[in-house]
Amino acid sequence: MKVAFATDDGLRVNAHFGQSPMFAVYNITKSGAELVELRKLPDAFNMDEAGKIDSRLEAVSDCTLIFLMQIGASAAARVTRRKIMPVKVPFGSPVEEQVKRLLEMLQGKPPLWLAKVLHAEEGGGEGDGTHG
C-alpha cells in the first residue's frame, strides 16, 4: 500500500494537510518499505481553501493512509470519501519511526483500523496478487 506523510523536509511529519508543502510517499508491504517519491506541491499563495485541498487530494489520490499533524473537518471528510485514512501523529514525528511502526503492525496483528483499511484495499481489486 502507498502511504503519504505531510512534511516540509521529507524527514518529519510536521505539516497540516492544507498547508503541507509536500508529501513523502512510501510503498509499504509486510516485507518492507521504500520511499517512492517526495511529491512537492505548487505554492498555494493564490489558491483558496478548496484549491489547496484539491491539489493535496490529487497528490495523495493513490495512497491508502496519510500521516499528518492536523486536518480540518471538511478536508478530512473529502479525504475519507476518497478511501484514504488520515492518521494524526504528534508534530515532528520522524517519518522513519512511523514507517517502522506500520511495518511492525503489518507483520504482527494489525489494529482494527489498519485491518479494515487493508481489507478494503484487498477488496478493491488492486494489489500485487500476493497474499501472505
Q: What is the percentage of the chain residues whose pLDDT exceeds 70?
A: 92
Number of H helices, E strands in the chain: 4, 7
What's the rounded Cα separation, in Å, for the pair 45 and 29? 36
pLDDT at 4 over 80: yes
The per-residue pLDDT of the chain, averaged, comes to: 89
Q: Which residue has the higher pLDDT, 57 or 50?
A: 57
pLDDT tens for each residue of 64-86: 999 999 999 999 999 999 999 99
pLDDT tens for each residue of 51-66: 889 999 999 999 999 9
pLDDT at 130: 40
Domains of the chain in start order, with CATH, are: 2-123 (3.30.420.130)
> Given CA atoms 71, 43, 62, 102 in this order, what sign does their dihedral have?
negative
Q: How far, rounded to the nearest angstrom, does the alpha carbon of residue 107 sit from its chain's CA centroid?
A: 19
pLDDT at 47 over 80: no
pLDDT at 127: 43
pLDDT at 42: 79
pLDDT at 60: 97
